[in-house]
Chain A
């Protein structure tokens, strides 16, 4: 069994890691804009899984837009401000408290941390399945609950972005990871459920669904890239970060309960 911290929906490695890419926030089309026209970025955002991959990309992009990012991950990293095991009891409350202590406020929560354990559907162990359900479903549930309780109590609006996947919509047979797809489908359902329940409180809950995204591992799977209509390549981390920056900004203020797929046309095939 191969183990990755992330699937097509949440890349495991920073863009260009080990491949000589220029550091810093540069996209294929030029430098990152601080924010789009008329966009007001979220002042403070919690980003989980911020040590690498899509989480690091989101943290960098939000920081470039002027958001103070409170990054959370198990390991250290340039965007990590709190190291913790999100599956530990009480972790959600501790993360929220630490972010509030650091910045005095929290405006957005990006549930990005995820776990992908590849295995055939007829062979995946209970332990592996439980670990994915815990990190991909229960942790977002608990973090969303902690953040929403805070926002309702403080009578403040807030935004939650759940990092789903194209696998919130379709399966992925090779390499196989059916349980991962189920957890990402569940996260989309949770997005809709919380959007309905929290709308009266002015809290938006949306999702982003990345397809294959640039990581150190994607070049190993060339047929995967050719399946992408737009450019025949995976997304860069910046291309995912740009959409998250939009979703947490006031420019997306009428959006809730939606998933935005950022997949280069993968699901349109």
Chain B
């Protein structure tokens, strides 16, 4: 069998200057997709604020980016909302996945998942939108404003044991569309990516088990897992002026998972 087609480095070459003069807030910036987005936005000229509860992870993300701002705080809190109000680009990348059989699913796990994956993006997008609108007509603002939410293939299909995650990511899909619809007249674009299985800490244990990793990989038409950099490439595109006519869209970045 030939090796799977792979150009995974191609998606990780930054476009210098694309976000020059823009301020970006990235949640979940201490690891995984959030880290890759934060680094890429910085490499493309943005002044980046990374928010996460993991202080050491934030340090590592921004080790080579001296101007970056670190906020160690809960993503649902007022400090996070304050940072969102000051940004030109908001990337809601913080997310949690707790696996439980539905019949034994603890209510607390359901509520934690909804808080991080749904309520936090809602609150941050609310603060972002309010500040944009207060700043005046879209044509008078230096940057119109763009939000990118990290949804999931589970915004479209379910995976057993992921009841809370599937519900929260499906909710985030509609949050994306409804915010996009309502904010379009105000010049604020709202989009999302829908990652498939991506090499992050969220699924590290699963990928470390050869049998489980193999079975999972077989479900991906492209025959491999995605990289955080490949997610960041799509997220940065949607946040950039190149996507100026795109709003309410959810871009699957999933190696073809949703085609089957």
Contacts and interface: CB of A to CB of B under 8 A. Distances in A.
B178 interface: yes
Interface size class of A (residues with CB under 8 A): 35 or more
Contacts, number: 143
A51 interface: no
Interface in A182-201: 182-190, 192-198
Interface string B127-159: 001100100000000000000000000110111
A137 B171 contact: yes
Given A121-B126, A137-B114, A185 B175 contact: yes
Interface size class of B (residues with CB under 8 A): 35 or more
Given A141-B167, A192-B166, A193-B166, A121 B178 contact: yes
A219 B242 CA distance: 43
B123 A182 contact: no
Contact of B174 (A138, A141, A142, A185): A185
Nearest to B133: A122
B103 A149 contact: yes
Contacts of A152: 103
B72 to A, nearest CB: 22
B174 to A, nearest CB: 3
A137 B179 CA distance: 19
Contacts of A171: 174, 177-182, 248
Interface of A: 120-124, 126, 129-130, 133, 137-138, 141-142, 144-145, 148-149, 152, 167-173, 176-179, 181-190, 192-198, 257
- 8 closest residue pairs by CB, A with B: A189-B170, A185-B174, A186-B171, A171-B178, A178-B178, A171-B181, A192-B158, A122-B129
Interface of B: 101-103, 105, 107, 110-111, 114, 118-119, 122-123, 125-126, 129-130, 133, 154-155, 157-164, 166-175, 177-183, 248
